[in-house]
């Protein structure tokens, strides 16, 4: 008979580093796309016991096969495919201090990023910005109306409306090839 493991003895990732760099194709929050659901075992099981707390919240989405793990204020969120146990996306929001390309992050102007990185382009199929060639980076305009204005300006060759970056997403390239085959993979 196998002995039960004491919840106090379970190790694994207990919190996210909200100052870690955002690296497309690699990770953010000191989490890598190489991490799997097993690295978060203590977080998932801790909610069953009142005496063991972590700094990571979790929820399972009812209508699909993903689990989300997030910091307490949702500044950083990781989505895990429950069938494979692999991380498919990481989302950085307001309050995340880490930088993209070592100098841009949440709170910076999109126009400043576009001046420095000429490979960032607006994807007309999905209404968000991506790095070309696609490396998993996605930057969403803050709302649908602004995305529509950016779309129209891009098509018409006019000045692109600026905005403050409030969401940066990086997705796993294997996941991207399955979900966006033919549209994002250049």
Residue 5's CB is within 10 A of a number of other CB atoms, namely 10
pLDDT value, residue 83: 86
pLDDT at residue 132 tops 90 = no
Q: What is the pLDDT of residue 44?
A: 72
What average pLDDT does the structure give for the chain?
84
Global pTM reads 0.84
Triad 75, 64, 177: Cα angle to 5°: 80
Confidence class for position 175, pLDDT limits 50, 70, 90? confident
Band (pLDDT 50/70/90 cuts) for residue 11 is: low
Residue with tokens 């009812």: 62
Per-residue buried b or exposed e for 19-43, using 16+ beta carbons within 10 Å of the residue's own CB: ebbbbbeebbbbbebebebebbebb
In this prediction, residue 186 carries a pLDDT of 45
Render pLDDT for 28-54 as a digit per residue (tens, 0 to 9).
999 999 999 888 887 777 655 555 455
The band of 4, judged by pLDDT with boundaries at 50, 70 and 90, is: very low
**Does position 178 have pLDDT exceeding 90, yes or no?**
no
């Amino acid at each position: 008979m196998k002995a039960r493991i004491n919840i106090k003895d379970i190790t694994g990732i207990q919190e996210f580093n909200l100052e870690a760099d955002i690296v497309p194709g690699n990770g953010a929050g000191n989490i890598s796309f190489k991490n799997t659901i097993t690295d978060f075992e203590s977080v998932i099981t801790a909610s069953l016991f009142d005496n063991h707390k972590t700094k990571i919240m979790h929820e399972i989405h009812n209508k699909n096969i993903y689990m989300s793990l997030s910091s307490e204020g949702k500044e950083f969120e990781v989505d895990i495919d429950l069938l494979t146990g692999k991380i498919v996306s990481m989302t950085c929001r307001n309050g995340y201090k880490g930088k993209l390309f070592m100098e841009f992050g949440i709170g910076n102007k999109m126009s400043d990023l576009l001046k420095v990185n000429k490979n960032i382009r607006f994807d007309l199929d999905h209404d968000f910005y991506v790095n070309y060639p696609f490396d998993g980076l996605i930057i969403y305009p803050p709302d649908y109306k602004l995305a529509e204005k950016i779309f129209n300006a891009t098509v018409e060759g006019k000045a692109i409306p600026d905005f403050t970056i409030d969401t940066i997403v990086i997705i796993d390239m294997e996941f991207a090839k399955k979900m966006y085959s033919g549209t994002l993979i250049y």
